[in-house]
Amino acid sequence: MKILCDRQNLQDAFSVVGGIPPQKTPKPIVQNVLLRAADDRIVFFATDFELSARVTLDSVKVLRPGEVLLPAKETSALLRELSEPTLALESEEHRCKIESGSGSFVLVGDDPNEFPAEPTFDGTRTFKVPSAVFLEMVRRTSFAAAREETRYAINGLLLDYDAGNLRLVGTDGRRLALTSAEIEGGDEPARAVVPIRTLHSLLKAVGDDGDQDLEITLGNSQIAFSLGDVEMISQLLENRFPAYEQVIPKVADSTIEVDRSLLEKNLRRVAVLSSGDVRMVRFEFKSSSLELSAESSGVGRADLSMDASVDGNGGKISFNPDYLLDALKVSDLETIRIDMTDDATPARFSLGENYTYVLMPISGS
């Protein structure tokens, strides 16, 4: 195999798949990225068995077709460091020589024939959504999903489609983020739980530019995302997502409106003094103000008052400030609405068009 190509293009393409190979694995061959060159185009393919990604680059000159494996980590690092506009890649046996200006680098891969084959995909059901819309939906919900591996079912986001409406839901049992959008996808309802890692990789691979449609195809145990030159196939998680609709409070004693960016700033300020063993900020809603306070025993105390329009009796409620900041950060509203009842009932935050966040308070015993 021998190719000539633009360095930047190659680097961009490589970065789509470069994050997929696992850092630690008992099967080290998957720490490589497969490069296949034919017909004046190259394809990079990487997999960790659960998630596979493929990217095609056609602005290259293929002098001799062939395949080679590139060690993912070293190749990423090398491409970042090189600055010549063009590169020449040539493989011999299982090595790949990269020439750039006066530099010559030989990367030792492995036998491409041993590399896992691209997965076969069983999906038929296709949805289309502008990529920028979908990525924003992921950003609004993914932080709320559980990080821990073992709460398997909710270590991912729920895609819940019904009659032209796609909902994305993330929860870790303490909070829940829900967002929705109108998309094309037919009448049949559909549900799937997609691993967080897959969605993070998608965010990285696709970027926000362009109004291209992202094509989502759903299979029995797999999901595929396709956008331009990039295609990803991922396993789905077991579909055991909590009944999220029951968790969202329908009624509340008080409804409060408050400036979002001011709340975010003030919450950060007050949270400085909640850094003890329990991260907790107290909210007290009075008739036209919100009093924030926090105390870290032996360290100090913070009190802060800000305007709020309170409809109802108000009252006291405490939250882990990190949980709320995560959501305030991705909200784009000027004024948000909070619906609360008491310190044992979830509070509901309306943070944007079709964007709801539910947070469980911290209470005394």
Partner 1 sequence: MIRVLPPEVVNQIAAGEVVERPFSVVKELVENSLDAGARKVVVELHDGGKERIVVLDDGAGFTPADLQLAFVSHATSKLGELADLDHIASLGFRGEALASMGSIARATIRSRTEGDDSGHEITCEGGALGEVRPSGCPRGTRVEIADLFFNTPARRRFLKTGRAERARIQELLGRLALARLDVDFTLMADGGEALRLPAGESLRERLVRVVGRRVADHVVEVDRTWGNLRVHGLVGRPEIARRDSSLALLWINGRLARDRGAQASIRQAYREFLMHGSQPVHFLMVEMPPDEVDVNVHPAKSEVRFLDARRVQGLVHEAARTALTAAGERPRTGAGAVQVGEGKPRALTGLPSLPGDLFGRDAGRVSPGGGSRVAGIRARADSDAELDVGAPGSAAPERSAPPSTVEPGDTEPSPAREPVFARIAGGRFVQALDLYWVFATDDGLVVVDQHALHERVMYERLRARHDASAPTIQRLLVPEVVELGAREKAWLLGHAETLAAEGLLVDDFGGASVAIHGVPAVLSRVRPRSLVESLVGGLDDEDAEALPRLREAVVERFHSRACRSSVMAGDRLDDREVEALLEEASRCEHPHNCPHGRPTVLTFSGEELERFFKRTC
Residue from the set 124, 251, 297, 334 that interacts with partner 1 by CB under 8 A: 297
User: Taking contact as CB under 8 A, which single stretch among the options 62-70, 89-97, 171-179, 334-342 is the one that binds partner 1?
Assistant: 171-179
For partner 1, give the closer residue by CB, 256 or 359: 359
For partner 1, give the closer residue by CB, 139 or 279: 279
User: Residue 228 and residue 111: Cα distance in Å, rounded?
Assistant: 29
- 175 touching partner 1, by CB under 8 A: yes
For partner 1, give the closer residue by CB, 44 or 323: 323
Strands (E), 29-185: 32-38, 41-47, 51-57, 60-64, 66-71, 86-92, 95-100, 103-108, 125-130, 156-162, 165-171, 175-182
3-state secondary structure of 361: coil
| Order of all β-strands in the sheet with 103-108 | 60-64, 2-6, 86-92, 95-100, 103-108
For partner 1, give the closer residue by CB, 132 or 362: 362
Residue pair 293/304 in contact by the 8 Å Cβ criterion: yes
> What is the sign of the dihedral through the CA atoms of 162, 202, 25 and 113?
positive
Residue pair 228/235 in contact by the 8 Å Cβ criterion: no
Q: In whole angstroms, how close is the CB of 359 to partner 1 at the nearest point?
A: 8
Residue from the set 129, 168, 216, 280 that interacts with partner 1 by CB under 8 A: 280
Site size with partner 1, rule: CB under 8 A? 30
- 282 touching partner 1, by CB under 8 A: no
Residue pair 155/147 in contact by the 8 Å Cβ criterion: yes
Burial (CB count <10 Å: 0-12, 13-18, 19+), residue 251 = exposed
Residue from the set 100, 318, 331, 356 that interacts with partner 1 by CB under 8 A: 318
- 251 touching partner 1, by CB under 8 A: no
Q: In whole angstroms, how close is the CB of 242 to partner 1 at the nearest point?
A: 4
Residue pair 33/44 in contact by the 8 Å Cβ criterion: yes
- 274 touching partner 1, by CB under 8 A: no
- 300 touching partner 1, by CB under 8 A: no
Residue from the set 111, 122, 148, 184 that interacts with partner 1 by CB under 8 A: 148
Nearest to 36 by CA among 11, 6, 12, 58: 58
For partner 1, give the closer residue by CB, 130 or 242: 242
User: Taking contact as CB under 8 A, which single stretch among the options 86-94, 124-132, 143-151, 332-340 is the one that binds partner 1?
Assistant: 143-151
User: Within 10 A of 133 (CB to CB), how many other CB atoms are there?
Assistant: 16
For partner 1, give the closer residue by CB, 185 or 361: 361
Strands 103-108 and 165-171: unpaired
- 298 touching partner 1, by CB under 8 A: yes
- 156 touching partner 1, by CB under 8 A: no
Residue from the set 123, 130, 219, 242 that interacts with partner 1 by CB under 8 A: 242
Which structure tokens are listed for 67?
């395949």
- 26 touching partner 1, by CB under 8 A: no
3-state secondary structure of 205: helix
Residue from the set 23, 113, 120, 150 that interacts with partner 1 by CB under 8 A: 150
Q: In whole angstroms, how close is the CB of 321 to partner 1 at the nearest point?
A: 12
Please provide the size of the chain in residues: 365
Residues at the interface with partner 1 (CB under 8 A)? 148, 150-151, 154, 171, 173-176, 242, 247, 276-280, 297-298, 318, 320, 344, 346, 358-365
